[in-house]
């Protein structure tokens, strides 16, 4: 088997799997639907899930890939307060500004502003590992270097801050790749652990495993109709690994330039 290794780093990330109402939550690690969606964007797969005109890949090629994720820098939960009004969708149509109800009616204007809270992971860094067919992964790796559509970390408002592609390894597996990839935390975080006298770091992992004791409902399925997304459950197992701290690099201090 081959394993494609990604770095998921950015100011904000959000990996929701069941967020459809006023609270838009996030998992504390990347979801499979989100990572496969990121690859699909880079490969140029349209939202109707037909074949990409640039790579020839489809969602059916990417969905079977097994996913593992490692929390190199877990980040902090950030909750963003929003108000949502129908006026933003139909500024010139008073009827459409009244938000819909479950019985197909509409709320009154004074009731049509709702509060939503959207959850993000701030200053987080993850490494993601996709195991599968070597040719498919090689095509995806090339696409990540020149993405057809802009990739994002769970939501469109969350662009990556570093190159996504770390590498493609052959004749390996998820567990080995998790242990072989150096710690990807920021220089500031690495320096903080060195200052504490640490020589190693323990990182949480989530691995897709048929024998896993937990499940997540984030396995993409081919759509029955265009633009209709479908998901099912996949088994996972949680764990942790210990890595040596990389060589310490002094954090950049802009005040050094004043000397």
The 10s digit of each residue's pLDDT in 71-107 is 999 999 999 987 776 655 566 666 666 667 778 777 6
SS3 content of the chain, % helix, strand, coil (to 5): 20, 35, 45
Tell me which CATH code domain 2-79+122-247 carries. Answer: 3.30.70.2660
Q: Is the pLDDT of residue 259 over 90?
A: no
For residue 117, the surrounding DSSP H or E stretch is: strand 113-132
Give the pLDDT of residue 250: 57
Of 145, 127, 143, 186, nearest to 41 (Cα)? 143
**What's the predicted TM-score (pTM) here?**
0.85
Range with top average pLDDT, 40-54, 91-105, 172-186: 172-186
Domain ranges of the chain: 2-79+122-247
Choice between 178 and 222, residue whose per-residue pLDDT is larger: 178
**DSSP secondary structure letters along 176-219:** HHHHHSPP---HHHHHHHHHTT-SEEEEEEEEE-TT-SEEEEEE
């Amino acid at each position: 088997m081959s394993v494609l290794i990604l770095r998921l780093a950015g100011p904000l990330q959000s990996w929701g799997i069941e967020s459809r109402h006023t609270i838009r939550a996030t998992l504390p690690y990347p979801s499979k639907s989100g990572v496969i969606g990121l690859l699909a964007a880079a490969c140029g797969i349209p939202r109707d899930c037909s074949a990409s005109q640039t790579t020839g890949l489809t969602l059916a090629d990417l969905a079977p890939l097994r996913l593992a994720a490692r929390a190199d820098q877990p980040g902090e939960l950030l909750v963003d307060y929003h108000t949502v009004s129908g006026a933003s969708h139909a500024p010139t149509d008073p009827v459409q500004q009244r938000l819909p109800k479950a019985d197909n009616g509409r709320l009154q204007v004074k009731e049509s502003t709702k509060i939503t809270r959207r959850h993000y992971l701030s200053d987080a860094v993850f490494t993601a590992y996709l195991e599968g067919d070597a040719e498919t992964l090689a095509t995806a790796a090339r696409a990540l270097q020149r993405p057809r559509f802009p990739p994002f970390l769970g939501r469109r408002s969350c662009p990556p801050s570093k190159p996504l592609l770390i590498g493609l390894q052959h004749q390996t597996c998820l567990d080995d790749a998790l242990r072989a990839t150096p710690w990807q935390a920021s220089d500031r975080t690495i320096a903080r652990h060195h200052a504490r006298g640490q020589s190693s770091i323990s990182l949480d992992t989530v691995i897709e495993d048929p024998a896993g004791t937990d499940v997540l409902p984030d396995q993409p399925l081919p759509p029955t109709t265009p633009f209709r997304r479908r998901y099912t459950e996949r088994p996972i197992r949680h764990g942790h690994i210990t890595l040596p701290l990389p060589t310490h690099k002094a954090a950049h201090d802009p005040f050094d330039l004043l000397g």
